[in-house]
Structure 1
Amino acid sequence: MAMARMRCSRQSNPHRILVVVVLAAVLLLPVVATAAAAVVAVAEGEGENRSAARQWATGKDEGELVAGEESGGGGGGSVVEDEFAGGFGSLDSMLQWAIGNSDPEKLKEQADGVQKLSEDDLLKRRTEIKELMEKLKMPSDADLMKIAIADLNNTSISLEDRQRALQELLLLVEPIDNANDLDKLGGLVPVIRDLTNANEEIRTTSAWVLGKASQNNALVQNQILGYGALAKLVKMGYATSTEEAVKALYAISALIRNNVNGQEAFYSENGNAMLQHILVSSSDVRLQKKAVFLVTDLADFQLNSGKSGLPFLSDSVFLKSLVDMLSRFDLDLQEKVLLAIKSVLKLSSTEATDFESCDLNSVLYRLGVQLEELPSEEQKEYAGEVDELRREVQTLFQNKLKEGTKIAL
């Protein structure tokens, strides 16, 4: 009976219900409104292009994305800026922030004012709050990807907005689930199409997106290979722009890593000629390092999987291009070249005589002398590590020569 009376009492006082429901939100509305302004601007979009309203996305070099906005100084103002840098995680977090940044006396005054509102006024205020909450709904990653993809499919979009859409995808496809959804949402086709865009920056970022999406992801690797993107990426590897060639090589490496079909397609597209071109013709150390790293990666995959099918790794002309890189004075590059030679030497398909014709033994000896003459103490420490690797490669080479001699006898 008591419960019945309680229910009856609640049902008979709708004004009280509205007061309870609206009170907390109304009290915080002035504070939340200030915080909400930036979020609403993002949700609604500003200007002609929706993508242009979200300038939080920024690309970074492979492996790492730029670490957010810089932190502000102390004080309440910096807290607001930090919250907006990444957005409030939920309406609840926004309300909690609003409570912590509100004046208790003003809240009390507003509470007294709410108690005096009529039922019609409360209903009106409740509607206003509901509309605000609808505006504050944060878009999902899928929603953001759809917007960026729609921008890429818009032929009348400016280059600036196209680049911004690609940068947003670069950030969004890093989680594997989002990368898996990229093709479902129709995103791979326009990104691959932009590999041949007349604008260098667009081509470069498109390759970057593909590399990021396919990294350690067999599903996306095969999707991109199926669209024939590899041939375009190999062509980009010859670019005179170092940044474009670097990003193309990054995408190729991610696309064919641990993927037999990808590696076979790479060879079919004469990717080895592109690698050799970089080793012989490029003067950019960063690009050379990436090319050498790819050689090591391909050789290690064959060693670990027992699969073969990349004959260029045993080609004497290609190997000479690799050995010649040891004469370029850069410790990091020399270390990477030694690692590549070490992996290639271990391949059963590689003959020690192939390296012998490249005068590997003499090159290793000269490198050892060079490493001993480094003047800087800091360099000498690193040089000692490189020299240890050099000795290991030299021993491996000599042992393989002896094995070949025994077989010949």
Structure 2
Amino acid sequence: MEKLLKWSVENSDSNKIPQPPPQDDPERRKIGSEIIDVILGKSDGVRIREAIEVISNTNDTLENREIAFDNLEMLVEQIDNANDVENMNLWPKILSFLSFPEKSLRLHAVWVCGTAVQNNPKAQKAFAEKGGIKLILNLLNNPDEDMEVRSKAIYAISGAIKHYSPGLEQFEKEGGYEILLSILQTSNDLSILRKVVFLFNTLLLQDATTVTTRIEEKGLAMQMIKLLGIYGDDDEDLADKILRTLLTQLQNSSKSLSEDEMNELRRILPEIKKKYGEVALSTSEWEELESNL
């Protein structure tokens, strides 16, 4: 704006008609863009690029980079902006942020990915094609990764594959089922356990035939039954998610539970039912679940 004021003063001679800079003058174009920014505000595309520039600047403060990440995450909530990430060829840069040494920045990077791909087939496609699913699964599969980052990675992988068959196929190819099952077997973080079980149930509802076959091969039912025995009595939310996932699996399977699975479920189910009753499942759902025992 200082340059605009200077230009106005220099051309304010009352004895002659002011002559603007030539049309092809770079200074004129710059002043013009400054005026547009002041009047209309910067476009979302410009704001996305500026946020990424700040995030990429390792000499900037951590606080400024986190603020830039917050701005970027809010911008990509809009479907058009999320699609523009691919149009501007910015996915490779954003995915590179997943390897930042700072935990808070990795967390923000995962969050941005998850938000951008939510309910957005175009963004899901671009994310998968740029290797995003593999990178997020690597974070999930790293036992040394911060628990908060891994938890947010479940949000990101869920957004990347829900209602997007090519993403689900890539998820399977990259060992996604095994990675999620390993989390159920090794983690004692209830928040992560709830999210993983809920994701399995979501995938069952999305593609019952394929997912049911895959999780039966991996032995998911037994692992969920074990978790129900360990945590079900103390965590209503986890118990609810496990019961609903087991019921969904049984509704879509041509196989019954194994003898070991049925015996274990018979042992722990009465107490779970007594404690939660219809808070967890309706009467008809309890009857359907018990009919498989």
- TM-score (ref. length: structure 2): 0.78
User: Which residue of 45, 56, 66 corresponds with 1:163?
Assistant: 66
In 2, the alpha carbon distance for the partners of 1:355 and 1:346 equals: 19
Q: Per the alignment, in what secondary structure is the counterpart of residue 207 of structure 2?
A: helix
Q: Per the alignment, in what secondary structure is the counterpart of residue 133 of structure 2?
A: helix
In 2, the alpha carbon distance for the partners of 1:132 and 1:235 equals: 43
Q: 1:134 to 1:217 in 2, by over 3 A?
A: closer
Q: How many residues align?
A: 263
In 1, the alpha carbon distance for the partners of 2:99 and 2:83 equals: 23
1:248 maps onto 2:144 in alignment: no
Unmatched 5+ stretches in structure 2: 2-12, 19-31
1:276 maps onto 2:181 in alignment: yes
Q: How much does 1:181 deviate?
A: 0.7
Q: 1:135 to 1:234 in 2, by over 3 A?
A: closer
Give the match for residue 226 of structure 2. Answer: 324
Q: 1:293 to 1:309 in 2, by over 3 A?
A: closer
In 1, the alpha carbon distance for the partners of 2:213 and 2:33 equals: 65
Aligned-pair identity in percent equals 27
Give 1 or 2 for the bigger CA radius of gyration.
Answer: 1
Give the match for residue 279 of structure 2. Answer: 386
User: Which residue of 186, 210, 216 corresponds with 1:308?
Assistant: 210
Give the match for residue 115 of structure 2. Answer: 212
Q: 1:131 to 1:311 in 2, by over 3 A?
A: closer
1:233 maps onto 2:126 in alignment: no
How well do the aligned residues superpose, as a CA RMSD in angstroms?
Answer: 3.0
Q: How much does 1:133 deviate?
A: 6.1
Question: Partner amino acid for 1:319?
Answer: A
In 2, the alpha carbon distance for the partners of 1:256 and 1:355 equals: 32
Counterpart contact for 2:204–2:211, Cα < 8 Å: no
Q: 1:222 to 1:133 in 2, by over 3 A?
A: closer
Q: 1:400 to 1:140 in 2, by over 3 A?
A: same
Q: How much does 1:258 deviate?
A: 1.1
In 2, the alpha carbon distance for the partners of 1:354 and 1:163 equals: 52
Q: Per the alignment, in what secondary structure is the counterpart of residue 210 of structure 2?
A: coil
Counterpart contact for 1:212–1:251, Cα < 8 Å: yes
Give the match for residue 82 of structure 1. Answer: none
Counterpart contact for 1:170–1:212, Cα < 8 Å: yes
In 1, the alpha carbon distance for the partners of 2:238 and 2:62 equals: 36
**For residues 173-219 of structure 1, what are the alpha-carbon distances to aligned partners after superposition, in whole Å with 9 as ceiling and x for unaligned?**
00111111111123211111111222211111111111101001111
**For residues 214-269 of structure 1, what are the alpha-carbon distances to aligned partners after superposition, in whole Å with 9 as ceiling and x for unaligned?**
00111111111111111221121244422101110000000000111211211222
Q: Per the alignment, in what secondary structure is the counterpart of residue 277 of structure 1?
A: helix
Question: Partner amino acid for 2:93?
Answer: P
Q: Per the alignment, in what secondary structure is the counterpart of residue 77 of structure 2?
A: coil
Counterpart contact for 1:352–1:397, Cα < 8 Å: no
Q: How much does 1:388 deviate?
A: 3.8
User: Which residue of 238, 241, 253 corresponds with 1:348?
Assistant: 253
**For residues 62-108 of structure 1, what are the alpha-carbon distances to aligned partners after superposition, in whole Å with 9 as ceiling and x for unaligned?**
xxxxxxxxxxxxxxxxxxxxxxxxxxxxxxxxxxxxxxxxxxxxxxx
Give the match for residue 335 of structure 1. Answer: 240
